[in-house]
Amino acid sequence: MTREDLASLLAQVSHDLAAERDESQTASRICALAVEVVDGCEHATLTVRGRRGRLVVAAATSEVAERLEEHQRTTGAGPTVAAFSSAEPVVGLDLRQEQRWAGWRESAVDQGVASVLALPMVFGARTQAVITLLGAEAGAWSGPAYDVALLYATHAAAALDAAKVITGLESALGTRHQIGVAQGVLMERHRLTTAGAFAVLQRYSSTRNERLADVAAQVVEDAEEAARRPD
């Protein structure tokens, strides 16, 4: 592949990923495109760091890939876990000769996987996601395929970061709207001002030890249920 071909390919990748606005859809598209773009890649997974540092499989192109990621999540050992820990690419050129990750390696080989490449996606100062590529042939990540994979992961990380921002903004807007509706319910029910209704929601949140958004959602749900009851 010439430099011009690679530049054109990555430009198309950026365009395709930018078309996905939802974080979940972007994760799925990242994995699907990895199989198309990176020579030797038979399966791909995207694993993200969830709440309390728990690793969560966000997308996978096959059951084989998903099973191998779940194996790592439950045992705490494998190339994806290693990439999260080191924030560096983790390469296994020939799993039949590999000495690391004994349990995961054996499972991978049994399912027809001969090589692995786990690439961290760093947002800020911390690795927030890892894309793991699995190959059916040993030595899949030697030569140009490795460089293409690194460049692809960089573009994918930018797309995922943008999707996370959009998803977060949409979630924040939805929460804000829900709180506003709950305030309206309380204002009408108890003849409160806007500030007074918000203070009630805050008090409920504090005494119940629940998030303000969850309290607001419950107020709205109760009001809707009451409205559906026959007089």
List, for residues 69-117, the tens digit of each pLDDT value: 989 988 989 999 999 999 999 999 999 999 999 999 999 999 999 999 9
- Domain extent at residue 207: 169-228
pLDDT range class, residue 168, cuts 50, 70, 90 = very low
Please check whether residues 119 and 12 belong to one and the same domain: yes
Q: Please give the model's pTM, rounded to 2 decimal places.
A: 0.65
Q: Are strands 55-60 and 126-135 parallel, antiparallel or unpaired?
A: unpaired
List, for residues 117-135, the tens digit of each pLDDT value: 999 987 666 777 899 999 9
Please check whether residues 96 and 69 belong to one and the same domain: yes
Please check whether residues 98 and 11 belong to one and the same domain: yes
Mean pLDDT for 181-197 is 83
CATH of residue 217 = 1.10.10.10
Q: What is the mean pLDDT of the chain?
A: 80
Please check whether residues 188 and 157 belong to one and the same domain: no
Three-state DSSP at 15 gives: helix
Least confident among 14-28, 60-74, 77-91: 14-28
CATH of residue 103 = 3.30.450.40
The one-letter amino acid code at 200 reads V
Selected residue with higher pLDDT from 23 and 167: 23
Residue at token pair 């998803």: 167
The number of folded domains in the chain is 2
CA neighbor of 116 nearest in space, from 97, 124, 128, 74: 97
